[in-house]
Amino acid sequence: MEVLQNLLEGFATLVGSGLAGVSWWEPSVVIVAGIMIGIFVGVMPGLSASTGVALMVPFTYGMHPLIALILLAAVYTASAYGGCITAIAINTPGTPAAVALAYDGYALTKRGEPGRALGTALIANCTGGILGTFILILFSVPLARAALAFGPPEYFALAVFGLTIVVSMASKNMLKGAVSTVLGLLLMTIGLDPITGFMRYTFNRPELIDGISFIPALIGLFAVGEVLLNIERMDAVKAALQTFSSKMPGRKEVLALKRSILQSSALGTVIGVVPGAGATIAAFIAYNEAKRVSRKSEEFGSGSLEGIAAPAAAAGGSVGGALVPLLTLGIPGSAATAVLIGALMLHGVTPGPELFAGKNSYLVYGLFASLVLGNFALLVLGVMGNKLWVKIISAPKALLYPAILVIAFVGSYGVANSMFDVLICLIFGILGWILRRYGFPTAPLVLALILGYMAESNFRRALIMGDPSIFITSPVSAVILALAVLSFAMPFIRARRARRKAADA
């Protein structure tokens, strides 16, 4: 209960003027500003949570350390939701974690109900964020210990488990899904070999030494590919008639989602704890789990609210999860928290377990309190913002599509100030159009791009450390691999059962 008392003190610090030299209104203003910046960062393709946080660091130089921390944490919190907005509105995930949500979210937008999808994502994301914060407060020490048990064999198993999700994503055409998955895995072997440093398939381009840059490829596959397909299929008369509603989901609809939101928030937080695995895998696994247990699993992929709520809640929860290793071990749980560590150091605060006990413990509890308040602020600002997003996508398509292309290219350039990345975005854009056109699913390709490197580097690391039996002798790895086999086989078994049922009837 001491923890809760500390948390209350944290709230008091934020709401009253508990800090020397800080006005009473400053924390609230900073939270609201941070949330708005974060939403924007998430919406812009190419600006990820980590870039957004890093770009805010110089603004915090003169601030009180807690205020700086609150600002950066608010940006981080809100960027998760920002990424969902573009995924729903224009099928262009603003952050990798939002890829899983583009399926059902965009399907609803095509039906003219973006407001319902955005509202569901927002509520799920904020619930995930708040639950994640409480899990962070209550269980950070045991969770951190569990995360440390993750060595190379366990990471490899997790990557394999993540990859098995493609089976349920590509259920419409397994063969084409397999082609795009393996194509993604093969493309991911481009670059410096993770163990020996040999340059594989770099074709003498220095830009390829670190492999294909993921964000420009993602922007190309989704934003550019989607716009091209839409331009091809555009029907001027139909487009003029289509209207988008910003109506939020009803209370009953939201309450029906409580199970998948709670389950996904917890999953997101726990997977977010594992350093490096992060929000993206959490979102995919949550989507898959929600689909597995859902009574209406056939709706997934065509506008299921559960299919939106699950990844959004997981993305929200993963923020709290990623802060666990940062606060308890002093190691980053994600790219964005790595920047957070740098920023804290700039302010003379060293993240790690000593933070809880020392004179700086008010920072930790102030941060916890600000995460809770930040999610409420996000909820309010998000509802206001949704009307704006719906208005933007209601603009004439002839204006909207070229503008999306421009933003996609700026975003790709902005990732590393690299012309080569713009080229990558163009190439993957054309690839995305062609793949969609001929019914090859693009999400498995993206998942393979995300997990391919993680799978190979940890497989190789594990084999340097011991013999191949290490994958089975490690209990954690064995359990995850068993789950992977189940998750891989499940859709096949279900399909067979359904066929038999159909044959009987």
Partner 1 sequence: MRLTIRLLAWTLLAALAVTLFPADAAHAEYPDRPISFIVHTKPGGAIDLTARVVAKVARKYVDVPFVVENRYGGSGAVAMRAVLGGEPDGYMVLAAPATFVSTVQITQSDFGMDDFYFLACLTEAPEALITNRNSDVVTLEDIVADAREKGGRQIWVGPGVGSLDHLMAIKTWDKLGIDATWVPYDGGGAAVAALLGEHGVVYVGNPQDVKGRPDLHIAAVSALERLDRFPDTPTFVEAGYDLPGEIMWRGFAVRKGTPPDVVAYLEDLLYKVSQDEEWLEFVEANSSVAVFYDHEEFTALVDRSGEDSVKYLRMAKILASDEDDAARRIRILSWLMIPAVALLIGIVLAVRRQRPTGVLVVAGLSLGVAVMFFVRAWGFPPPTPGQSVGPATIPLIWSALLAVFAAITVRADMVEHKDVTHGRVMLVLGIIVLMGIFVAALPYVGFFVATVILLAGGIYAIGYRRHVVVLTVTAAVLAFCYIVFIRVLGLPLPIGSLFQ
Site for partner 1 in 159-218 (CB under 8 A): 175-176, 178-179, 182-183, 185-186, 189, 192-201, 206-210, 213
Q: Is residue 319 a contact point for partner 1 (CB under 8 A)?
A: no
Dihedral sign, Cα of residue 482, residue 487, residue 490, residue 492: negative
Residue number, 38 or 307, with CB nearest to partner 1: 38
Give the residue, chosen from 464, 502, 503, 505, that forms a contact with partner 1 under the rule CB under 8 A. 464
Residue number, 380 or 395, with CB nearest to partner 1: 395
Residue number, 1 or 399, with CB nearest to partner 1: 399
Answer whether 310's CB lies under 8 Å from 286's CB. yes
In the bound complex, what is the minimum distance in angstroms from residue 44's beta carbon to partner 1?
8
Residue number, 108 or 408, with CB nearest to partner 1: 408
**480 Cβ neighbours under 8 A, 6+ residues apart:** 154, 157, 158, 160, 161
| Element holding 493 (H helix, E strand) | helix 475-504
At 200, is the secondary structure helix, strand, or coil? strand
Angle at alpha carbon of residue 319, lines to 24 and 26, rounded to 5°: 10
- DSSP one-letter code for 220: I
Answer whether 65's CB lies under 8 Å from 246's CB. no
Give the residue, chosen from 110, 292, 461, 494, that forms a contact with partner 1 under the rule CB under 8 A. 461
Site for partner 1 in 264-293 (CB under 8 A): 275-276
Residue number, 233 or 501, with CB nearest to partner 1: 233
In the bound complex, what is the minimum distance in angstroms from residue 160's beta carbon to partner 1?
13
Give the residue, chosen from 78, 283, 290, 329, that forms a contact with partner 1 under the rule CB under 8 A. 329
Q: Record the tokens describing residue 62, joined without a space.
A: 């003169």
CA distance 505 to 257: 32
Site for partner 1 in 82-141 (CB under 8 A): none
**Residue showing tokens 């493309």:** 187
In the bound complex, what is the minimum distance in angstroms from residue 77's beta carbon to partner 1?
17
Residue number, 122 or 166, with CB nearest to partner 1: 166
Q: Is residue 441 a contact point for partner 1 (CB under 8 A)?
A: no
Report phi then psi at 191, rounded to 5. Answer: 115, -175
Answer whether 415's CB lies under 8 Å from 216's CB. yes
Longest Cα pair distance anywhere in the chain, in angstroms?
A: 76
**Number of residues binding to partner 1, judged by CB under 8 A:** 110
**Number of helices (H), then strands (E), in the chain:** 23, 2
Site for partner 1 in 342-401 (CB under 8 A): 342-343, 345-348, 350-355, 396-399, 401
Residue number, 249 or 325, with CB nearest to partner 1: 325
Site for partner 1 in 20-49 (CB under 8 A): 44, 47
Residue number, 208 or 286, with CB nearest to partner 1: 208
C-alpha distances in Å from residue 355, one per residue of 360, 361, 476: 6, 5, 30
Site for partner 1 in 408-427 (CB under 8 A): 409-410, 413-414, 416-420, 422-423, 426
In the bound complex, what is the minimum distance in angstroms from residue 307's beta carbon to partner 1?
26
Residue number, 261 or 344, with CB nearest to partner 1: 344
* Sequential DSSP letters for 201-237: S-TT-GGGTT-S-HHHHHHIIIIIHHHHHHHHH--HH
Q: Is residue 149 a contact point for partner 1 (CB under 8 A)?
A: yes
In the bound complex, what is the minimum distance in angstroms from residue 489's beta carbon to partner 1?
18
322-346 exposure pattern, b = at least 16 Cβ within 10 A, e = fewer: bbbbbbbbebbbbbbbbbbbebbee
In the bound complex, what is the minimum distance in angstroms from residue 431's beta carbon to partner 1?
9
